[in-house]
Structure 1
Amino acid sequence: MKIVTFLLLGLLSNAALALEPGERLAPWTLLDQHDAPYTLNDQARVLLVARDMDGAKLVNAALEGKAKGYLEQRQAVFLADISRMPKVIASLFALPKMRDYSYRILLDRDARIAPRYPAGEGEVLWLQLKDGRLVQQQTFTSAELLRQALEQQRPH
């Protein structure tokens, strides 16, 4: 019975966190892999959220071979939750590797921001935004489908 209660509470808490179309996303600021700050603003049209390494790998595969600035041209930002990664692993291995990527990764090191967004394990949450408000959301579990969706975003 305790397990059922716990699961129901988990489902209810996830439902409470669900974003609704038209809802304004609260601004936040995070550092990227180069320790440069980024603040979510009304210019962002797409927010990609990965809550685990498998989700981040999907984004990496979707962006493989893309030129530097590809996401920025599409007014897209990528938020990666790395809070579960041991700090020594992050600093010695993961961050140096991330610095070689041709795209910006906003790093949520302390799970301050990513839990606001209902991305599941092994998936990427896509939040379509307009003037800081949620238009629609979808999830991706395929790098190819994510790549196709990014291609459909007109560069600005």
Structure 2
Amino acid sequence: MKKLFPLLMLFGLTLLSCGSDEDSLQKIDQIMNIYIQDASGNNLLVPNKIGSYTTVGFNDELAPKDDAPVSMSRKEVITDSIYNLEYISGATREFVEDAADGSKIYKSDLEVSLIKKLSDTQNAPVVLDRLEIFYRSSANVFEVSRVLYNNQLVFTKIQDQPNRVTIIK
């Protein structure tokens, strides 16, 4: 019996240490839906439409190599027939600073290349822009906190709201 007691104690402690506490899980909130529109609110991501950006590319400027494309997918919101770009992840993140609340701030820096369709046979020259994504990381959450497009603030995180970034071109 004396030999069985330590084994039972070890087994009991093992079971207790394997318990799960959902509060200790870090929430990841980094999916962004990016909309590009003109000043009148017209969607500029409609595939093959004259006047739209029919080719959009993203390159990771913080990657160790010069050519580091970042994946974004063009999606159509069926209910509104509006197209957007969905960014899930993939860009290099660089530490920026420790925030006053104890969280850490990171950023990704992307070069955006846009080609606008001018006619059925002609495209405008490539436009190169810059997209900076800032993230906040704490024990509870890793989330997009703000986004700059060509050094202009285009998104600030609102708790429990989707990350909808609207760029006016």
By the TM > 0.5 criterion, same fold? no
Q: Which interval holds the TM-score relative to the shorter structure?
A: under 0.3
Tell me which of the two structures has the higher relative contact order, counting C-alpha pairs closer than 8 angstroms and 6 or more residues apart: 1
- Bigger Rg, structure 1 or 2: 2
TM-score by length of 2: 0.24
